[in-house]
Chain A
Amino acid sequence: MSETTYEPDITIDSRGATCPGPLMDLIGKVKEAEPGTVIELLTSDSSSSHDVPEWVDETDHEFLGVEEEEDYWRLFVEVV
């Protein structure tokens, strides 16, 4: 595993799930998390990798970035 630039407080592993699973997993966690929490979402679903920043941008939360691994993506979101 490569090192990540961000330090997640919570990691959600949604690899293997397809739309809308990963985003639903993320939204569930975002709703219960304290402000300041950094959440890392692992997804192998490319549509989700694009959908997550779209969803985050419409909220007050912050999309920190994405790191691409060989067969999945790591998406980082900070709860505001």
Chain B
Amino acid sequence: MTGYAIVLASGRLERLQAVSNIASIAAVSDVPVDVFATMDGLEAFDKETVEAMDFEMGPIGEAMLAAEDVDMALFTENFERAREMGSIELLACELSMDMLGKDLEEYVDLFDDVLGVSGFLNRAQDKQVIFV
């Protein structure tokens, strides 16, 4: 298996950050990574949500955002950087989008494609699947 296929189904900031950190370093280390954002995980990329930083979070998320002496890069920034530097693709789940009647324009511009289950499974064939 070469690489990771990460299903990002959670919209909690801690999980978004953890996935973006791991995916980003893997990608810039030339490990192929696909991140399939679905359900709450896709909604976290909504432009208005990101603008307002309106994420579900617990104490770690709050500490990350409140920390004054450090500059924490938001998951969106990590993904953007990883896309420029390495082998990563972000895919948006078609079903999730359809349920809310939304299209890709309403999410931050980080997605390479819109896919369904088969599309994801095809890409995941040679990768290790991680479900978050």
| Interchain CA distance A26-B84 in the complex, whole Å | 15
Nearest CB in chain B: distance from A58 CB, A: 8
Are B71 and A18 interface neighbours, CB within 8 A?
Answer: yes
Q: How many interface contacts (CB-CB < 8 Å) are there between A and B?
A: 42
- Whether A44 lies near B78 (C-beta < 8 A) is no
Instruction: Chain A residues near B67: list those with CB within 8 A.
Output: 18
Per DSSP, chain B at the interface is: helix
Cα-based distance from A28 to B29 in the complex (angstroms): 10
Q: How far is the CA of A31 from the CA of B30 in the complex (A)?
A: 11
List residues of B (63-79) whose CB comes within 8 Å of A's CBs.
64, 67, 69-73, 78
Contact B25 A24 (CB under 8 A): yes
Q: Using a CB-CB cutoff of 8 Å, which residues 1-59 of chain B contact chain A?
A: 21, 24-25, 28-29
Q: A24's contact among B64, B69, B85, by CB below 8 Å, is which?
A: B85
Contact pattern, A 9-38, Cβ under 8 Å of B = 1, otherwise 0: 000000011111101100110010000000
CA distance A17 to B72 in the complex (A): 6
- Could you say which residues of chain B place their CB within 8 Å of the CB of A23? 25
When distances are taken between beta carbons in the complex, the residues of chain B under 8 Å from A58 are 29
How many residues in B have their beta carbons less than 8 Å from beta carbons of A?
16
In the complex, per-residue mask of A54-71: 1 if CB is within 8 Å of any chain B CB, else 0: 010010000000000000
Asked if B71 contacts A17 (CB within 8 A), the reply is: yes
Partner of B25 from A17, A18, A20, A44 at Cβ < 8 Å: A20
Indicate whether B102 reaches chain A with its CB closer than 8 angstroms: no
What are 15 A-to-B residue pairs whose CB atoms are below 8 Å?
Answer: A16-B71, A17-B70, A18-B64, A18-B67, A18-B71, A20-B21, A20-B25, A24-B85, A27-B29, A28-B85, A31-B28, A31-B85, A44-B70, A55-B25, A58-B29
Contact surface of B with A, Cβ cutoff 8 Å? 21, 24-25, 28-29, 64, 67, 69-73, 78, 81-82, 85
Q: Which positions in A face B, CB cutoff 8 Å?
A: 16-21, 23-24, 27-28, 31, 44-45, 55, 58
